[in-house]
Amino acid sequence: MDFVLDAGQKEFRAELRRFLSSELTDEVRDRHRDLSEWDGWEAGFAEEFRRRLGARGFIGATWPAEYGGGGRDARERVIFAEEMEYYGAPAFDRSVTYVPDAILQFGSEAQKSEFLPRLARGECTFFLGYSEPDAGSDLASLQTRAEARGDTFVLTGQKAYSSGADRADYGWVAARTDPEAPKHRGISLFIVDMASPGIRIAGHETTAGWEHHSVAFDAVEVPRDALVGDLNGGWRVIMGAIDTERAALSAPGLVRAQLDRLVEHCRETPAEEGALLDDPAVADRLARLAIESDAAQLTSYWVASLIARGERPQHETSLALLVKRETARELDVATLELLGAPGSLHPDAPGAPLGGAVLREYLDHLYFHFAAGGFDITRNVIATRGLGLPRG
């Protein structure tokens, strides 16, 4: 299969790079970085950047034109994700990946017309209300209830690990609407206005120093037209959108950025003879990581090409995401070993190598064990859907 980008795709990448490099200069990073925020940026700056990104047409580049998009295909979507990750840009979240895909696939015409143009312009944001204190990897065990009462549903329950909920305009919330049905069949999906009465948000600090949030819903009224897809059909919405999101998240932009920084550090760091990069063992290890990074990139392009041809890959998206995350984990370990003890210094510590990014990246990447399907769940998907192995 030919993964060579055409002229339009190359120009899209070049245009996006020009925008990101001019917007996210070292001076801007020094002024607006905030490591207590989940995305590492001041909230106000992140939202301003989102609107500028939308004004240039990048957010909705691959959405249909009738909903404010640019009509490009899945390959530009992967390019967008890769470059956003590489530059560590703000606003690369579920409001530009997961939620728009789900609305396009399962939303009503009214929901598409209301939300997609606003999302494309960067004018509103969502948080993902899936995980709960007792329902993480086993998402179908969620207990948040939505009880039908006339023209509304009454939402009661709690969500956990809801990054960005404190600044979101809406919640994309899964709730149980039929407690008597099998657990996968009694779930529905709702768009919840975060200005509704009865919503409480609490922050919780992670090991990496930033906050995730829990969200409590206390008899929150949600209009019936906020239901996404069919009543009790929420599991189909959840899984359909996860597959397409994984295709974008498999782009190894963060791996490329981290590897480039590590190679430059080894090139500039003195050793017994020449620079650290002149050590054959170091050079060999970095070369192997570069090969794995390229393999992750090609795998993500392969999945994008399947989507662009009109196919609906499932286990392939899980495979691409697993390759990227395994490479990131190996790179984290290699970085800490090559930098030694200084690599574990906090970003605020004097003399911390690579700007102190190493420890935060290592701790951030621990979420790969459970986010969007952790390592074991992803392998199970590949085994059952891809290889036809029995569930066990």
The half-sphere exposure of 295 on its side-chain side, counting CA atoms within 13 A, is 14
Nearest to 256 by CA among 226, 220, 295, 283: 295
The half-sphere exposure of 51 on its side-chain side, counting CA atoms within 13 A, is 7
> Annotated catalytic residue: which of 76, 82, 85, 245?
245
Going by the DSSP 8-state scheme, the letter that residue 143 receives in this structure is -
On whether the CB atoms of residues 267 and 277 are closer than 8 A, the answer is: yes
H/E element holding 189? strand 187-193
Going by the DSSP 8-state scheme, the letter that residue 67 receives in this structure is G
Active site residue 245: yes
Nearest to 164 by CA among 114, 221, 203, 218: 203
On whether the CB atoms of residues 142 and 188 are closer than 8 A, the answer is: no
CA torsion angle for 254, 317, 114, 16 (degrees, to 10)? 40
Residues with catalytic annotation?
A: 245
